[in-house]
Amino acid sequence: MKFGSREEKMGIILILPMILYVMGMILFPFCMNIWLSFHEKKIGMPAIFVGFANYLYWLKNPVFFKVLGNTLIYTIATIAFKFILGLGAALLLNRNFRGRDFFRVFFLIPWILPTIVTCFTWRWLYDDMVGVFNFLLTKINLTPVPWLSNSSLALASVIVVNIWRGFPFFGILLLAGLQSIPEQLYDAAKVDGANKTQCFLHITLPGIKKIAMIAILLSTIWTFNDFEIVFLLTRGGPGYDSMILVPFVYEIGIRGQHIGKAITFPVMVFPILLGLIFVTSKIIFRER
């Protein structure tokens, strides 16, 4: 007992510096953000306490709800399609066929490419004058489309880019989950007369559920906090039609120099992301 107690104390002493470091890296910026949200702060100027004025400013501002709605649409749509495409790719790459290893590596290219390369490639594809998509439209006698400057298409266009870049992440994780399912389960199910659909619903999906939820959780956090794709493709335009959370905070806080108002926006949105993380985590660890 004494030896165990001494070991426990030594373990706490050894990990204490890392705990303090992590707490400082997380808690200090978080508390500072909350503190700044109650102040009017501009770059180079002292902070002035304004209470809940910043919160009331956003609640009365229709731009807040526009950007929040865009962020939710952007996140939910991309996660849904990345999961569907990633699952389809994983099922395909899990099959035995010639050149499978090559295609598994090739499949990862959208994910490993630098974001700036991806964005400029898609800007060229979307270009009004020399873009590939509009070139193909003119070849079939259709009118060119302003993909990134049309208020009805801008958000959908950046969502497509995010899906293209992110679905390999889902695919590779789900492929790992598929390969962890014992083949004997499928053999036993076939002996019992189960068809492919029943095997998929009762063996494959339950077998990859936890790794799928982890992929959804990580991708939700990354997508909710995405900056580069929207900023490099549309800068949130036209107007605020494709603007999402992080580029908007950058525009208000860095370019507009309204640090207090910019910080308030993510503080108000934080409970939504926290709720998504909590629900996903409950599903992941419910069966532990």
CATH of the domain at 267: 1.10.3720.10
**What's the pLDDT tens digit per position in 142-198?**
899 999 999 999 999 999 999 999 999 999 999 999 999 988 988 898 888 888 889
The answer to whether position 106 is within a domain reads yes
Question: What pLDDT, on the 0 to 100 scale, is given for residue 3?
Answer: 45
The answer to whether position 217 is within a domain reads yes
The answer to whether position 256 is within a domain reads yes
**What's the pLDDT tens digit per position in 99-156?**
888 888 899 999 999 999 999 999 999 998 889 999 999 999 889 999 999 999 999 9
Task: Report the share of the chain in percent with pLDDT over 70.
Answer: 97
The answer to whether position 18 is within a domain reads no
Confidence of residue 77 (pLDDT cuts 50, 70, 90): very high
Better pLDDT: 25 or 246 = 246
Instruction: Examine the pLDDT at 287 and tell me if it is beyond 60.
Output: no
Computed over every residue of the chain, the mean pLDDT equals 89
Domain around 261 = 62-285
Q: What pTM, to 2 d.p., does this model score? A: 0.87
**Measured between alpha carbons, how far is 225 from 244 in angstroms, rounded to an integer?**
9
The answer to whether position 96 is within a domain reads yes
The answer to whether position 244 is within a domain reads yes
The answer to whether position 276 is within a domain reads yes
Question: What pLDDT, on the 0 to 100 scale, is given for residue 241?
Answer: 94
Instruction: Examine the pLDDT at 288 and tell me if it is beyond 80.
Output: no
Confidence of residue 286 (pLDDT cuts 50, 70, 90): low
Task: Find, among 3, 194, 147, 170, the residue nearest to 80 by Cα.
Answer: 170
Q: How many CA atoms lie within 13 A of 107 on its CB side?
A: 25
Number of domain units in the chain: 1
Instruction: Give 137's contacts (C-beta < 8 A, 6+ positions apart).
Output: 143, 144, 145
Instruction: Examine the pLDDT at 69 and tell me if it is beyond 90.
Output: yes
The residue ranges of DSSP E strands in the chain, in sequence order, are 39-40, 48-49
**Mean pLDDT along residues 54-60:** 92
The answer to whether position 232 is within a domain reads yes
**Measured between alpha carbons, how far is 125 from 24 in angstroms, rounded to an integer?**
44
Question: What pLDDT, on the 0 to 100 scale, is given for residue 249?
Answer: 92
